[in-house]
Structures are given as structure tokens and as C-alpha cells.
Structure 1
Amino acid sequence: MANTQGINRARFLAGALALGTAGALLPSGEAAARTRAADGRRGLRHHGVVYTVGEGETPATAWNPRRMRADLRAIRDELHADTVDVTGDGVDRLTATAGHAAELGLHIWLQPTLVDVPERDILEHLAETGRFAERLRRQGASVDFSVGCEFWLFVPGIVPGTTVLDRVRNLLDGTFDPVRMQRRLDAFTKKAAALGRSVFHGHLGYAAAQDDKVDWNLFDIVGIDYYSYFRQPADYVRELRRYQRWGKPVAITEFGTCAYKGAEKTAGMGWNVVDHDKNPQEIKGHLTRSEHTQAAYVVDLLEVFESMNLYAAMAFEFVTPDAPHRADDPRHDLDMASYAITKTVEDRPEEPGSPWHWEPKEAFAALARRYARAYQEVGP
């Protein structure tokens, strides 16, 4: 399942933003060398991470430009990624983040994800973001544009339910009509693809759940949010091959798991271990924190993606500010239920809205080693 943790971050359409940028945004330096070198190599062409922008649950956890700039530099220089999946809501946040990523020479997968608002607002948000993506492309940036993510989950009217959580419950309970759902999903996907084509003239994609039925003729890149678990690599390869039958590049637009034992076996539902009815929210049951579980899973999957020469793989996600790590309080260690490869550490946990910083988890270090090795293998 996709960015279900984003339900609290994605609420309202941001105000209109002038889409001008200063100067041509051309890749330069080390990141540009990575992009050029990757053009002719086998293995993954793009190694990346998902970076979610949003309002946050509190002012302290909301997107801000200073933190964004520092994060993107860490993604390039410490994680050694060449790609960032800029996703979330708010045209101003999306475009500012994508613009800075372009200045740093990163390849960009730009994906607006506006949630729980009328269809017309989602499409307007898509169009504004797509126009900016086209502007970046014409100025020389390396950018793919995705029209969205798992529409059946995030767009009202496809599955019954006013909110994402309502729709998740209806899906789990089977209280929906699958035929009607597919018909509505197909109609909205076709509309979104046509709109994306009208504003963006580069490679167009979409991020689907792995069991979705999608007409990939509408897109240039097959994007899959991938959360399977198998014991043998061959089983991953067998499952992933079905996405290659379209003869198009395949991008893994999300992959990863949470930081507790057994999380890798939850098929993308690892986040569903938080009791949101409690105040403060707390972890259900008696989970055992395990950053090693998360790290081992992402590395195993990355090796599979490399072996299949896929187009891109973007780990989900860089940071989840609203899921703080509490080292001395396992019941309230919400980071265990986060897919982030960094942990959010509050400077003053006893204070609501405390300032915070992130620290790398084992998964960050494991991916950084693999991403750096991929660069070293091709050279500048």
C-alpha cells in the first residue's frame, strides 16, 4: 500500500504560485556525471528516495524551505542518490522542492498527490504542477512527471468513503463494488493522463499499487509501489516480470518497510500498528524495534531491481516528521511504524511541537553504501 501515512499531511490545495524560476536549471558537477554515466549501464538507471512535502500535523513538522534544501543536499551527498521522488500536496511546496532538486543536478520524479478533495481540485493541482515540470524540462533538468499515486485510495468517489481511512476500512471489509471501482478508476486515470500529456511533454508516468489494473498504454513509464515479501529472490523476479510485458521502463516508485521485527511480511500494511484513538497515539501490541529488519529488506529488494535492469527504484521515504522516535518509550516509538530511512528525534520530547532533527537509520546507511557503489561502478 502506498503513502497511507500521508493522510495527515495532505489536506488542502495550496494557493496559486507563480511558476517562474531563476536561470536555466542544468545538472552540474557530480550529479550530472552520474546521470550521464547511467545512460549506458546495466542495472538500475536511477537510484532514489521519496521526499514527501506537506503541511505536517504541527507547524514544527510542516515543510519549510530551509529544511528542504538541507535534506536534498543530504540525499545527494550523504545518501548518494541520483534521484528524488518529490511527492505530496501544495503546488508551492512541490515546485520549490523540485526546482531546488534540479539545481542540485538530481533527477526528479515529480508526483502531485492531493487527497480527499473534489476531483476538479485534484486535476487543477495536477495541471499546475505539470506545467512547472515542463518548464524544468525545457530548461534542461532531468524530470519525469507522474500524474499521481493509487487513485482508488486518494481520490474520493472511486471507492466509498469520505477520507483515506474510510476507504481503507471499506477495502479491508469488502464493502465496495469491484466492477464499479474499476470503471471509475479507469475513467479518472484516463482523464488524468490526458491532462498530464496536455501540460507536460516529457516522459509521463503513474504510481500504481502492484495489483492495480492499469492501461499502461496511457503512459511512458510503468510505476509500481512495491511491497511484496518472498524468501527467494527468484519469486520477486517472477512477480515483477509481469510489469515488463508492456515493453516500457519500469520504475519502482515506492519500496520499503517499517523498523520492527516482522514488518517486512506485512505487504505494505506495516504502518497499521498505531492506535490513533489514543492520546498520545501509541504502538499496538508488543513490537520489537528492528532497524536491521528494515535495512535487510530494502537491500534485498534493491539487488533484485538491479538484476532486472529496471528504470528506477525510490525507497519510501526519506523522513516522516510526524512519527517521532522514542528510544526510551517503545509504546510511543511511532518511528517503528514509519517507512522512513531516517528517524525523527525531538529535541524536547516533553514539549508539544518540539523542534526536531533526523538521524540516519540502518536502512539509510545500507542504501548509501549501495548507491555509492553504483556510482563508483560507472565512474564520473
Structure 2
Amino acid sequence: MSTLTEETMPPAPARELVRSWLRTPDPEDLGAVYAELRAAGPLVRAPWGAFLVPGYQDVRRALVDPALVMLDAAWRDERTPGWRASPATSALCDSLLMQNPPEHPVNRRPVVAALTLRSVTALDGMIRAQVRVAVEQFVLTLRQDRAADLIDDLCKPLPAAVLCRLVGFPGRDAGLLAGLASVISTGGEIRRPLDELLAADQVAGQLLCYLEQFTHQRDRSANGPALGDVTFSVDQLFALVVAGLITTTHLLGNLGDRLLRMPPEQQRSVTAPEHRAGLIEETLRWDPPVKLATRRADRPTVVGGRPVPAGTVLHLMIGAAHRDPARYPDPDHFDPGRDHRPGFPFGQGGHFCPGAALARAQAAAFLESFAPHLPAVRRSGRLVRRAGPSFTEPVGLPVSAARPATHGF
């Protein structure tokens, strides 16, 4: 099993199919692309030599396969001399986001312990209060200006405000942190335009300096961190800022866009307390915050029934897996009432997102606070997304007041 033989080798690179996938960030259009990729086989060879894995069962098993590991710093040292000249890539690899055992479980443990479901549930009141304040401020802006951007003015700064309260960052820095996270996350893409990578490199240094200063001058006043005396390292805080803010912004932006495209009766139905969880899970299935998980084979293994030699790079297509009709009937239909278990929108296995419960809690609070204001808000432009393909979070959604100012909200 040291090589992929002619009998087991997937077809030659389906260049146009892969290009189509790379050019399609909109989840409304991705269903057809995903179907073509699944039809091409369990492993689809990409022009750059890696393999795409689009099937639900194959992705699910691969995410927990101990033979498949991250493309960490040690791997890059062997393959790409000088890669550390990129501060963004270096910071990502030094964080728990891209580490492997034995460092990864050790560095991950404090974050997991701080963000358990029980811990997040205990903080529910604080989270709901933070979200309520943010939504009310957004509504006030919309009432006064008659126009706003749902992403820039609410869905992007909101998770940052919650994170500031959790770990003790100054609340005034929420906007700064949200902006830095958005730029740096481009360093984790499988395709990175030079200008975006240069911007990510510049901003990564800024964030690291901020975090280093914070760890040396922690605020232990009465307005200190809601998580208590938990002490995170710079690398752990880097992961919380970059991964935590991007994934939650993605979820909130998709929820807001989905709601604003629904008729009023459906809005009232899906935002009812008993239906909120289904809406959140279907939004995560339809367009997961991270559509791609890249791994390499540390030793020979089997994926999709095909032998995979050590050194092979695989792109596990979480987005495509969640549109697999073998698991989800009529997968391109948005159905909050469907059975979502077991999905993996936040990954699975050793790299399961430790902030999943926190993201879901913020989403539930967002629905609770935003739903009463839906009749007064309307879309005034198209949702704009990042190009992807790994991260396609909303970056802009113009909205306006639905009624004349004299009618109020």
C-alpha cells in the first residue's frame, strides 16, 4: 500500500470540475458542484496533487482516522524551506489550530475545559445580555440612518464582543479583533492570492503583539473575564480569536440572511423557541463555517475504499459531505425539521472545535433578540461572501428600514 496503483488511482485531475468548485462560494450553487464531485469518485485528484474527499461516510471516518494528521510546522519545515517568513502561516501552525500530538492535546485541554457545554450554559445569561445589547444598538442605528450592513454592523462585531467579555479583552477592542481575525484567516486557505497573504502577514504580527501585551497586563478588575481565572497562552488566544470569531460570524450572517429571505409567517415559525435549534443546525449543515479540513497521511491508510500511501494530502469536504443524499434526503432543500444527527459542521475527532457550544449559544441568543425586529428590516442588496473555498463567510449584507421613520419600529 505504498503507492496508488493504476487500478486504484482516481481519474486524472478533473480540472474544470475543480475550478468550478473553487469559483463557487454561494451555497445555493454548490449543491450541483458537490454532486458532480461525488459522481467523480470517492477520491478526486486535484491539479495540485492533493485529493478531494466529498462523500459523507468517507469524510466522517477520515476526520477520526488517527493516520490522518494536520499539515503542521514540522511537515512544512521538510517540504517548504523558508515558510516561516510568513507570519500568518507561522502563527497558525504554532497555534492549536494546526498542531498534532503530542503538543496539540496538551495545548487544547485548557480551551476545552473552559468552554464545555456546562460552562457555556452557566454563562447563558451573560451571552444573551451581550447579544441583546448588540442587536438593540444595531436596530437603533438602522432607525437613525435608515440603512446598515447586517454583517459589518452586527454579525461581525457581536462574537468579538462576547469573546472580549469571556476572556477579559477590553470591550472597546471588539471591532479591532473582529477585523484582524477576518484578514488573518485567509492564511488558512488552500489558495491564497499574494495580496491577501501579504495583508494577513502584516495583520498577524499586529494581533500577536496585542495578545502578548494582553497576557502580560491582564485586567483582573471587577469587569474582568467571565471565564474567571482561566489563563490562556498567546497561541491559545490566537486560536480563539481567529477561529472563534470567523466561525461564529459565518453562522450569524447565514442565519440573518436566511431569515430576511423568508416570508413573515415562516420567520415567526422558525424563530419560535421550540424551532430555533433546528434552524441553527440546518444552517450549519447547509453551509458549514469551515467547508474543508485538510489532512495528510502520516502512515498508510484507507479512505473511500482506496489505499492511501503515507504523505498523501487530502481535502476532507465537510460542505460536500453535508449535501450527500446518501445521508440527507433531498440535501439541497433547506429543511430545519430534518434529522441532523450526526453532523460535523464544527469538525470531529481531535480537532473538533472547542467553541462549538459557544457558537450555538450565541446563535440561539441572536435568534431570540433579532426575531422581534424582523418586520422592520429588509434586505437592500445581495449577500457578499468571501471567495473560499475553505472559508466563505458572509462579509456584507446591506439592509434598510422596512417602514418609514414616522411609523417607528
TM range, normalised to the smaller chain? under 0.3
- Greater helix content: 2
TM-score, with normalisation over the residues of structure 2?
0.24
Structure with more relative contact order (C-alpha pairs < 8 Å, separation 6 or more): 2
Task: Give the structure with the higher percent strand.
Answer: 1
Query: Looking at CA atoms only, which structure, 1 or 2, has the larger radius of gyration?
Result: 2
